[in-house]
Structure 1
Amino acid sequence: MLGKCIGVGSSCEVYEWGGEEKVVKLFHTGTSRNEVELEYRNSASAWGNGLPAARPFEQVEWDNRHGIVFEKVDGPTFVNRFFEQLYDFQVIDYDNEESDLRKFARVLHDIHKEGIDGVVTEQKEHLKVIIGRPTLLSDDDITSLHAYIDGLPAKRQLCHGDTNPNNLIMSEGAPVMIDWMHAAIGNPAADVAEVCVTILYAVLPPETPPDVLAFFEDMRETACRIFVDEYVKLSGLTAAEITPWYVPSAARQLASGALLDDQALNLAKMIRAELHIFSGQ
């Protein structure tokens, strides 16, 4: 039943399952059954309502690990395609309506404009839980962060909750969002902000050639601007409504424990600076 490993994430591995049309997402030991059931329910709700999500078939257990069997979605992730363009020194075409960045913005807007009954998690409280207490933030930082989150504008829209660009698969030109565990009802600006924070604060691996690093530094702000431009055009949301959500989005990324040291330090520095401004108001 269990085939070769085809993907590794911070919380799981993905294997082929019973042939070529299905995969199983096996969560690391220690992931609770409740968390896995939550992702299964959210994924089923998203797929059942016609959103760009992989179809979940069933929950399973394998070697004392919880798992979910999904339809297999073939194609590179947004990150894979981005790095391919980066190493080919392909300049982002701002006017290209079919650029991956604009497709990403469109798929998020499609998600945010839907209302589905199966997702019930409240965004702000869930954010506080998954952020936890990252080692680079003090107890005082966390207290200020919780107050900051409480003060952000609340909305009642469907949000994916984990818009890491690795979670967008470009399958035959059609974008598919995976990993719906953190889907919630709240403000869609949080989803957009997480993509922006990823682009603006990403640190490339140390083995990256210097010319590629320089090219990335020159293009990252343009990439973020293109993404936001498309989302704002579709949604009516403004850039000024998105940027306040950088702080909890950065804290979410810190909590993942999957960042390079320099990236984590840069995010922590930004968070503390914004919290200082917030506390001084």
Structure 2
Amino acid sequence: MLGPRIAEGSSCEVYEWGGPDKIVKLFYADTPPQAVELEYGNNNAVWECGLPVARPYERVNWEGRDGIVFERVAGDTLVSRLFARLNAMEPIDAELRLLADVLHRIHRTSPPGIVTDQKANLKGIIARPPSLTPDETAALHAYLDRLPAKRQLCQGDANPNNLLIRDVDGEAVMIDWMHASLGNPAADVAEVCVMLEYAVLPPEMPEEAKRFFEESREAAYRLFIDEYCRSSGMTEAEIRDWYVPLAARAIASGAIPEEQTARLAALIRERLHAEKIEE
């Protein structure tokens, strides 16, 4: 059943499964079974509601490793599309509009079966970021507690790497639903905005592409946030209030460059300091 390996992530490997039309997401042995069951249940819930997601088929176990079988989505990630545009020094407007539209579609859906609390989940992910002191971490958690709570569907990991564009029809498909939760949609949007405003491009990208991104960064942010706010009725201020915990989440992932980590840690400290002064 197990075919060639297609991809590798921080918690799993992805293989072809029984032919070209299915894949299996095989989790590493240290992944708790409850986490695998949660992702499978979340995927079923959003699939049954008609959201643009990969169809989940079944849970499996292969040589002691838990896995989930999905339909195979042949296409590019949104990140690869963005990088291709930047390398060609072309605007990324269409890609950002697509992401804003998909997120808004997710946020206005109410699937039964999603039970994770957004704030509790974020606290678990953030834990104690290595860039912050214990006092800063305590202030960060208190800040998160004060943010407006809602009970809307949130994807919980709105990284553009998790949005695939099908080759056959250009349809967008959102993957990786382990952190789906009920909460405030501003968090999903803030995750993208923090990336747009603070991302450090990979060193292998051409210098011309990096300069083009720096010159167009503000316009890209403006387009994305205006597009989402226009369709959702949310305000930019509501979204920016969530920058602090989402910046901490990015740091906690351990998957961003040191320069970007430093930028985000400075952002967190600045916001927490401003909060303390206001109190």
Q: Is the structural similarity TM-score above 0.5?
A: yes
Q: How many angstroms apart in 2 are the aligned matches of 1:6 and 1:160?
A: 24
Which structure 2 residue ranges, 5 or more long, are not aligned?
Answer: none
Say whether the 8 Å CA contact 2:77–2:161 is kept in structure 1.
Answer: yes
Query: Residue 3 of structure 1 aligns to a residue in which SS?
Result: strand
- Cα deviation, 1:95-114, whole Å, max 9, x if unaligned, reads xxxx1111111111111001
Q: CA deviation at 1:92?
A: 4.1
Q: CA RMSD in A?
A: 1.1
Q: How many angstroms apart in 2 are the aligned matches of 1:210 and 1:58?
A: 45
Query: Post-superposition, which runs of at least 4 consecutive aligned residues in structure 1 deviate over 3 A?
Result: none
Q: Which residue of the partner structure matches residue 155 of structure 1?
A: 150
Q: How many angstroms apart in 1 are the aligned matches of 2:196 and 2:9?
A: 19
Q: CA deviation at 1:279?
A: 2.1
Q: CA deviation at 1:55?
A: 1.0
Answering whether residue 209 of structure 2 is matched by residue 216 of structure 1, we say no
How do residues 125-274 of structure 1 correspond to structure 2 at under 5 angstroms? 125-171=120-166, 172-274=169-271
- TM-score where L is the length of structure 2: 0.96
Q: CA deviation at 1:10?
A: 2.0
Query: Residue 129 of structure 2 aligns to a residue in which SS?
Result: coil
Q: CA deviation at 1:268?
A: 1.2
Say whether the 8 Å CA contact 2:140–2:272 is kept in structure 1.
Answer: yes
Q: How many residues align?
A: 276
Percent identity between matched residues is 57
Q: CA deviation at 1:173?
A: 1.4
Q: Which residue of the partner structure matches residue 278 of structure 1?
A: 275
Q: How many angstroms apart in 2 are the aligned matches of 1:115 and 1:244?
A: 24
Q: How many angstroms apart in 2 are the aligned matches of 1:92 and 1:255?
A: 27
Q: How many angstroms apart in 1 are the aligned matches of 2:56 and 2:251?
A: 29
- Identify which of 110, 130, 140 aligns with 1:115: 110
- Cα deviation, 1:55-91, whole Å, max 9, x if unaligned, reads 1111112232221111111110110000110111113
Q: How many angstroms apart in 2 are the aligned matches of 1:13 and 1:220?
A: 33
Say whether the 8 Å CA contact 1:10–1:256 is kept in structure 2.
Answer: no
Query: Residue 23 of structure 1 aligns to a residue in which SS?
Result: strand
Q: How many angstroms apart in 2 are the aligned matches of 1:155 and 1:240?
A: 16
